[in-house]
Amino acid sequence: MFFTKHKLLVANRGEIAVRIIRAAQQLGIPTVAVCSEADKLSLPAMLADEVVNIGPARADQSYLKGELILKAAKETGATAIHPGYGFLSESADFAEAVVEAGLIFVGPSATTIRQMGDKACARSTAQAAGVPVVPGSEGEIHSLEEAISTAKHVGYPLLIKASAGGGGRGIRIAHDDSELAKEFVIAQSEAKAAFGSGAVYLERFITQARHIEVQILGDGEQAIHLYERECSLQRRRQKVFEEAPSPVLSPSIREKLCHNAAALAQQLHYKGAGTLEFLYDDASQEFFFIEMNTRIQVEHPVTEAITGVDLVQWMIKIALGEPLSLQQKDIHIQGSAIEMRINAENPAKGFFPSPGLLESVSWPIGEGVRIDTHLFDNYIIPPFYDSLLAKLIIHGNNRQQAFERAIMALDETQIKGVITTLPLHKALLKEPDIQAGLFHTGTLEVWLSENHEKLIDEEKAHAVTTH
């Protein structure tokens, strides 16, 4: 199908905006970048065919202003809008407004976003599709009395989760009735402040669970999976290091898990790229659906590396009317891939932000190395947004080779002028348990508390090699 009659507006910034612009350009589609005052000299602004300044640096005055993005689309003659991740990517109201304006939203329908964006509703949807869910409340909990009654049936420890939450926010833990009484009120207040809704639900807390997610792709008629990603190395429920496939799933568990994910996407008549997230219990080998992200994920490159499928291009092609030509039998795992998020933060000082002037950057080269970034020499990192600077994606014929290549790639990477999380990744790659795949969602928090001196030493060594 020819896409030359279309023009794509990218409603995002940073590395994901660069990723989308390049995917569109490879399809022959002209692009429009929207940028805040702080991003006027950014790489997306340089790469796009057209640029529209949509407001001040603060996201709530620019990237979160749907009406300004729609105005930019109208002024430039854009026919479609890709939201990337974050910002308005999972806003059903924005997706609806795009369609009502006569434009194409690159993603699922507003109805699907609403259905799966509400965590309690998503849970019910998964249950109806026969997908296992973590034991918990049947829908939202509105009072403490109801919460305590539910806790008697589900058992402690419990997670109190915001129904409209995401990105690891809006979650509290309770180990008994007294903690539940305290944390329930706090969770409701936090949910209201962060998401505009105080609705919460309860879920059993699996103490040593893995976080495993399945990538799906659908065109509204058929849906397929592209296998799983291991995302258990997290800090404050924010992912730090991801890999594909998971190092612990047996072939039979992998098949069952991924089949469940594809079946749920099929039932939803899902359109675009999406991710179904699961908790996996190593001990019992059980998996439980927890939520769905109705957008492209930060860690999508590891899936692209092991399947050879360009997810962003397929998102665009499906949105513009091309049926999904891939079938499940076409998707195979090819080797192993890992992704390390390089952030402008100081791991040795509590991940304190490190914005400012980036003097120079030098990336590694070699087989199996991919860099997704928006950095360039003398780029000024603004303090207003997420601290992600780049993603270092390494692919190998097997997991051991991927780790070996990653260690070499980190040694070759040089970012001067700001402190980054590169030393953290260097230290993690040397850990025997991580090399062996022996970790869960709580592992990194414990490791950080026990290895502060090691991080300081790694940072000093890194500073010597890069300065």
pLDDT for position 464: 61
pLDDT for position 467: 55
Active site residues: 295
What's the rounded mean pLDDT across residues 199-212? 90
How many C-beta atoms lie closer than 10 Å to residue 107's C-beta?
Answer: 27
Asked if residue 245 has a cis previous peptide bond (ω within 30° of 0), the answer is yes
| CB of 292 closer than 8 Å to CB of 122 | yes
* Closest to 68 in 3D by CA, of 48, 85, 88, 90: 88
Give the model confidence (pLDDT) of 296-321 as tens digits. Answer: 999 999 999 999 999 999 999 999 99
Q: Is 178 helix (H, G, I), strand (E, B) or coil?
A: helix
pLDDT for position 314: 98
In sequence order, the β-bridge partners of residue 273 are 217
pLDDT for position 241: 97
pLDDT for position 1: 52
Mean pLDDT (the chain, rounded): 94
Give the model confidence (pLDDT) of 29-38 as tens digits. Answer: 999 999 999 9
* Closest to 202 in 3D by CA, of 241, 149, 238: 149
Cα gap 139→124, rounded to integer Å: 7
- pLDDT-based confidence at 2, cuts 50/70/90? low
| CB of 39 closer than 8 Å to CB of 16 | no
pLDDT for position 195: 78
Q: Which amino acid is at 84?
A: G
pLDDT for position 332: 98
Place of tokens 């402008």: 344
In sequence order, the β-bridge partners of residue 136 are 203
Answer whether residue 466 shows pLDDT above 70: no
Residue 407 has phi, psi (to 5 degrees) of -60, -45
Cα gap 35→10, rounded to integer Å: 9
Give the model confidence (pLDDT) of 416-435 as tens digits. Answer: 999 999 999 999 999 999 99
Residue 43 has phi, psi (to 5 degrees) of -65, -40
Give the model confidence (pLDDT) of 111-153 as tens digits. Answer: 999 999 988 889 889 999 999 998 888 888 989 999 999 999 8
| CB of 378 closer than 8 Å to CB of 23 | no
pLDDT for position 168: 62
Give the model confidence (pLDDT) of 37-66 as tens digits. Answer: 999 999 999 999 999 999 999 999 999 999
Q: Work out the percent of the chain whose per-residue pLDDT is above 70.
A: 97
Q: Which of 118-132, 165-179, 453-467 has the highest mean pLDDT?
A: 118-132
Answer whether residue 465 shows pLDDT above 70: no
Residue 168 has phi, psi (to 5 degrees) of 85, 5
Answer whether residue 170 shows pLDDT above 80: no
Which pTM was predicted?
A: 0.90
Burial class (CB in 10 A: 0-12, 13-18, 19+), 467: exposed
* Closest to 302 in 3D by CA, of 407, 252, 231: 231
Answer whether residue 257 shows pLDDT above 80: yes
What's the rounded mean pLDDT across residues 193-204? 85
pLDDT for position 265: 97
pLDDT for position 198: 84
Cα gap 354→383, rounded to integer Å: 8
pLDDT for position 4: 76
